[in-house]
Amino acid sequence: MVRFLIPSVAVLLFLLEPEFAMLSPIEMKGDIYYLVPRFLILYLIFISIYYSRQRAVMYGLFFGVLYDVFYIDIIGLYSVLYPLICFLAGSIVKVIHQHLVVTTTISVILVAILEFILYQFFYLIDFTAIPLADFLRSRLLPTIIANALFLMILGWAFKYLINARVLQRAREVS
Amino acid sequence: MPHFFFNKKVILLLVGMVFLVALISFSLRDRTNATLPEQIIKDTVGVAQSLVAKPANYINGIFNNIDSLLNTYEENKRLKARLEDFAVVQAEATDLKSENTKLRELLNKSESLKAFNPIHATVIARNPDQWEEKIILDKGSSHGVEKNMAVMTAKGLVGKIILVTPFTSEVELLYTNNPNYRVSAMVLGEKEAYGLIEGFDEERNELIMKRIDSSLTVKEGEQVVSSGLGGIFPKGVPIGEITEVSTDDFGLTKMAYVKPSADFSILEHVVIAKRTSTVVDGSDGNATNEDLSNPQKKASEEEAE
């Protein structure tokens, strides 16, 4: 049961992202703020940290291709960035302590890096012309806050689910 | 020799990089159609997406209902005040309509730039990273949707179809940085003024209307609608209201900032307008001076020469 739960949660998060994206951009006192939901990659980072780096990279590749084809029509962008972020997360965790607070912080930082690389890419190919300061204020900061909130609410659930799977696998092996 | 290729992983990485750059540059070119694997993925994800979108829209609807319930009293008062004018306007409209059809019959002219067949569609997704302004609809080529059709809500123009697969279609919103995205528009003032909606101002969050003849007067608060002259959008779809008028970059023509009438932040149900009069086929904005409506004819002419 738990075995299938992990990929189904990933699929669900993938399908929920655009629904949450419809709430954005929000207008506050004349300023526009963009909240980009990055639920799936946060979940994949958790898989990479608590379960298996290799598995996370494979999920990252699969969902990256889907994301590229369905949403942005630039094939090769997310399909590289998602696995890369998962790989980084899995590598970082080998040198630090796996406490939930620490992993949450790392996840949010990695999402910020992802967001920044994407901004640089779209700036390079002239899809956007907003200056760096505007990007930081109207996109990066709100996105980080929203995703950090999401992770604070559901991070423990992810960890619980993944741990259940790890235990199940340990039982199967023994 | 075994260490000549000092690391298998490095080679793999390099090959991967080359492949990646090739893929990205392939997909960045102006493509008019999605390839078959892309269409299959788009349709499959689209079906799954619409399964999730329906309950999400339902929940969204509940919140909207609660919101409107709280404003009922205020709204009721305002609506009652406007209802009295409405009867007069409606009588006038039916009168004008019948007169219009009679005059058309007199001229033996049945085709109108205004006429269109509506296709109702539901928004199933919006690209979550929000760099390009796109939405994805649950109707595709099997429902009669074609590229370049206008997409609107009850309030006004939203964008146009840029990519169609059998069961989904992709809409580029008016809020775009794409320099080739233009909408022929007119200002409903004392005298009609024509111009083009070209790009939008990110700081003001408003559309920019350019190339308005400088001899014409355009005032704040006047309505902007699509003119139907661009060959894609039907005539008379509301776009927005002018908030500021100034001169163009070179001072030869006027430009105006237009506050869009449609609400772009939460889009749920949209109408795809299939224009009944001739639609100019081909890409708008490559400035190629080609006869876009008849590409075959032009080719055969060239051969004849």
Q: What is the pLDDT of residues A68-91, one digit of tens each?
A: 888 888 888 888 899 999 999 988
Burial of B280 (0-12, 13-18, 19+ CB in 10 A): middle
The answer to whether the CB atoms of B205 and A23 lie below 8 A apart is no
Give the whole-number percent of chain A exceeding pLDDT 70. Answer: 100
- Structure confidence at residue A28 (pLDDT): 77
Q: Which two tokens stand for residue B223?
A: 């309505």
- Structure confidence at residue B4 (pLDDT): 53
Out of B46, B127, B177, closest to residue A72 by CB = B127
The answer to whether the CB atoms of B202 and A73 lie below 8 A apart is no
The letter for the amino acid at B26 is F
Radius of gyration, CA atoms only, chain A = 17
The answer to whether the CB atoms of A127 and B132 lie below 8 A apart is yes
Distance from CA of A34 to the nearest CA of B (A): 8
The letter for the amino acid at B105 is E
- DSSP assignment string, A51-112: T-HHHHHHHHHHHHHHHIIIII--TTSHHHHHHHHHHHHHHHTTTS---HHHHHHHHHHHHH
Does A150 contact chain B (CB < 8 Å)? no
| Each residue's pLDDT expressed in tens, for chain B with a length of 305 residues | 455 556 787 888 888 888 888 888 887 776 667 788 888 888 888 888 888 888 888 888 888 889 888 888 888 888 888 888 888 889 999 999 899 888 888 887 766 777 788 889 988 888 888 787 788 898 888 988 888 888 988 888 888 888 888 888 988 888 877 777 888 888 887 788 888 888 777 777 788 888 888 888 888 888 898 888 877 788 888 888 899 888 877 778 888 899 888 877 777 888 898 877 666 655 544 444 455 555 554 444 444 44
- Structure confidence at residue A111 (pLDDT): 93
- Structure confidence at residue A101 (pLDDT): 87
Residues in chain B closer than 8 A to A80 (CB atoms): 20
Angle between helices A39-50 and A53-67 (to 10 degrees): 160
**CA proximity to A22, closest of B257, B33, B206, B270:** B270
Distance from CA of B137 to the nearest CA of A (A): 12
Distance from CA of A172 to the nearest CA of B (A): 32
CB atoms within 10 A of CB B41: 18
Distance from CA of B271 to the nearest CA of A (A): 18
Q: How far apart are CA B77 and CA B296, in angstroms?
A: 60
Beta strands in chain B (DSSP E): 116-126, 134-137, 150-152, 157-164, 169-173, 182-188, 193-201, 206-212, 223-226, 238-247, 254-260, 269-275
The 10s digit of each residue's pLDDT in A92-150 is 888 887 788 888 999 999 999 999 999 998 888 877 778 888 889 888 999 999 999 99
Beta strands in B165-235 (DSSP E): 169-173, 182-188, 193-201, 206-212, 223-226
The answer to whether the CB atoms of A118 and B38 lie below 8 A apart is no
The answer to whether the CB atoms of B265 and A24 lie below 8 A apart is yes
Does A130 contact chain B (CB < 8 Å)? yes
